[in-house]
Amino acid sequence: MIQRFSSVLLLLGICLMPIDSTLAGQHFDSPLLERCFEDARKIVDEAYTYSRQDTLRRVRRETVSPHDALRILNEPRGETRSAVRSADYMAQTLRLFVEKSHHIHKRSLNATDSLSQDDLMKLSDKTGCAAQIREPQCNSIPNINKYRTITGVCNNLKATRKGASNTPLVRWQPAEYDDGISEPKGNRSERINNFFLPLVRQVSNNILRMMDAEVVNDTEITRMVTIYSQWNDHDLSFTPFSPSIRSFSNGVNCDESCQRGEPCIPIPIPPGDPHLPTDSCIPAFRSAGACGTGFPAYNFSGTPNVRQQINAATAFLDISQVYGSEEKLALDLRNLTDDGGLLKVNEEFTDNGREVLPFHPLQVNACATRRRVTNDTNAREIPCFIAGDVRVDENAALTSLHTLFLREHNRLARELRRLNPQWDSETLYQEARKIMGAYTQVFAFKDYLSHILGEEAVKNMTGNYTGYNHSVDPSISNVFATAAYRFAHLAIQPTFSHLGANYLQDPQFGNIPVFEAFFTPWRILFEIGIDSVLRGLIGRPAELKFQNHTMVDALRERLFQFVQQIALDLGSLNMQRGRDHGLPGYNTWRKFCGLSQPRNQAELARVLNNEDLARSLFQHYGTPDNIDVWLAGVAEPFVTGGRVGSLFACLIARQFKNIRDGDRLWYENSNVFSTRQRAALSRASLARIICDNTGITSMPRDVFSVISSNNSVTPCSAIPRLDLAAWKQRPCTGAGCSAPALKFLFLFILSCFPTLLEIFL
């Protein structure tokens, strides 16, 4: 059975490959373009190789800096890396062509002024960009109406790449770049709307700065809301950095210089910075561009090629952070040594006898942080964990959720096998994965969103589900991924709490500073396990955000800090990322959402209900039009019952509604689940999943609300289980039941390769 399944995957990959690859071996009509392509390929390949070797060298020496850690965390891998490389080939080829053409002709011109349509098509093919937009053959994918593809392709059968991994983030409003095409907003130090943009670090220092001692606990939501927001975010979006740490144009190392040049966008340090020298900078890297975007040329439809960023994750609530968004990774995560449909688990360690994530097979270990954090030179280092998302090891709380849902998949697969012993490994895997995807959809709309947006906003902005709408684009918007859904950064406490069986502080490990929880999978194995982490998320409140001072120093001054050196500033990074992506300013988004657009300080003060904050923002930006949308969004007062302001409530609600309505395989859509199955799923809860997969025996029913008289700790025996009886299937006894997998394989091969029929005769 395993061999048959592997054959199906192999043939699926072949069927999705471009049929006509002859262009790759052809030469361009323009000899200059041929030379530019070869030079560009060399520049990009050498930069990638240099960057990889430099990073590996630092990891081996255990001298990984905070910006190294961030880059490793956001580095594209697998098919995403290939897509980014193709984009870099294309962009650098056209950059060189423009430069050399200008030198020859002594005038400014666009690349396409001197290129034939045939050359442009050949360039797209030779760089690999053409393969990024070719439509897959949906009718050749088995069970396309029953199970999701790993990559999300063919969810929409009319627009097959909508919501798929490795496609661009979508724009709800036109991008605003300094050059109108690609250059980060504010990069040229020119006036925008008659004012200069302030340095992001200066804004962070003056508006966001908050001492850890100033933290006030939220009285309504728990830390689970914060980490579950990150969990959802990793399901919906992953915008990788460029793999290069060296400028393509001048070879400058982004880590060693404050010069700007693709892909380097360093964050300058303002005068009088409380922690960092003025003549230094915080290294930062551009998000990878999508193929054929961001250079001063025009695409084949004649419209400007404004730079777009790649989303390496699927846009659907499909729990891709467990299963992966690429076929190869999904297969690597599966246990193919038996027929149980299980995911791989760690073969060396357990957590009090329960499963933990497998280790990443890479020989070089970016998670070798234990000796530095504990100052124990004899401590054993362990590898990073591997999961469906590369950010699995970012912090111990996130790792705990990954571990929890790994266990739940395997629990479901075992239960389904007990109910349906006739099911093969593939069916068990797909059915368990399908239930897991439904979980995350149920939790989002039944439990989670009301804590973020408030019940009234959820009702008014998302409405009731009315069925699948193929015209709705579920793709993740740039403003959602880059700004709105980063709201939870302001609710992060400076420590992670670890609680014992009675939700009291663990006497040995207690509170761990946030900056000592990054890249520490060893804590799960050698110290705390996931039970105490989950109790800490459930039993302790989130941070209550203040408008004037909002981000703890653990995130502004010590992000990814393993040793005493320049760390990262999450607030500055968020604003810099928005400018890198060309996000329009505050009022553009207020108008988009049908909200008032303040024009002066008094009007801004009324919108924010805060005169001091409005004054400070005007001192920095000069006009509300220029305020970085992430900063303005988190500065707004909360909507009723929520933890975001009016703008972010609008943007988040719109995105989740699009995800729901544009998903053909949404759990409430007819024929996805039976009526009885949908009823069972509607009663599912995150609390029950924790009960079923940990040693925790009691908890509040609502893990997102603080423990209170209305949400008291309850024995797990009183929390309803998922009734899997709805998935019990009568054994097939008719003709054609003996080998369904062979039938699918046979039909699949014929759909791809009709001429191979004779092989099977």
- Residue whose tokens read 């409530």: 649
At residue 121, what are phi and psi to the nearest 5 degrees?
-65, -40
Separation in Å, CA 537 to CA 210, 233, 498, 543, 691: 22, 17, 8, 12, 14
Q: What's the residue count for the chain?
A: 761
The two structure tokens encoding residue 131: 């393969």
> 261 - beta bridge partners?
264
Give Cα 560 to chain centroid, integer Å. 18
Report d(CA 477, CA 315) in Å as an integer.
Answer: 9
Report d(CA 233, CA 583) in Å as an integer.
Answer: 19
Give the CB-side neighbour count of residue 10, counting CA atoms within 13 A: 7
Q: Extract the annotated binding site for heme b.
A: 489
DSSP conformation class of 745: H
Give Cα 626 to chain centroid, integer Å. 27
Give Cα 289 to chain centroid, integer Å. 15
Residues 6+ apart with CB under 8 A from 85: 44, 48, 128, 243
Neighbours of 618 (CB within 10 A): 17
Q: Encode 122-180 in three state secondary structure.
A: HHHHHHCHHHHHCCCCHHHCCCCCCCCCCCCCCCCCCCCCCCCCCEECECCCCCCCCCC
Given the residues 67, 234, 402, 581, select the one marked as catalytic.
234
The two structure tokens encoding residue 651: 């943007």
Q: Give yes or no for a contact between 699 and 713, defined as CB atoms under 8 angstroms apart.
A: yes
Report d(CA 614, CA 602) in Å as an integer.
Answer: 8
Nearest Cα residue to 419 out of 61, 122, 116, 727: 727
Q: Extract the annotated binding site.
A: 489
Q: Strand 167-168 relative to strand 310-311: parallel, antiparallel, unpaired?
A: antiparallel
N-term to C-term CA, the chain: 21
Residue 69: strand, helix, or coil: helix
Active site residue 498: no
Q: Is 396 left (phi over 0), alpha (psi -120 to 50) or beta?
A: alpha
Residue 354: strand, helix, or coil: strand
Dihedral angle of Cα 77, 83, 86, 91, to the nearest 10 degrees: -100
Q: Encode 225-283 in three state secondary structure.
A: HHHHHHHHHHHHCCCCECCCCECCCCCCECCCCCCCECCECCEECCCCCCCCCCCCEEC
Report d(CA 431, CA 267) in Å as an integer.
Answer: 47
The two structure tokens encoding residue 435: 């239930």
Nearest Cα residue to 153 out of 388, 480, 475, 444: 475
Nearest Cα residue to 459 out of 468, 450, 467, 451: 450
Q: Strand 495-497 relative to strand 511-513: parallel, antiparallel, unpaired?
A: antiparallel
Give Cα 743 to chain centroid, integer Å. 37
Residue 705: strand, helix, or coil: strand
Q: Give yes or no for a contact between 582 and 628, defined as CB atoms under 8 angstroms apart.
A: no
User: Which residues are part of the catalytic machinery?
Assistant: 234
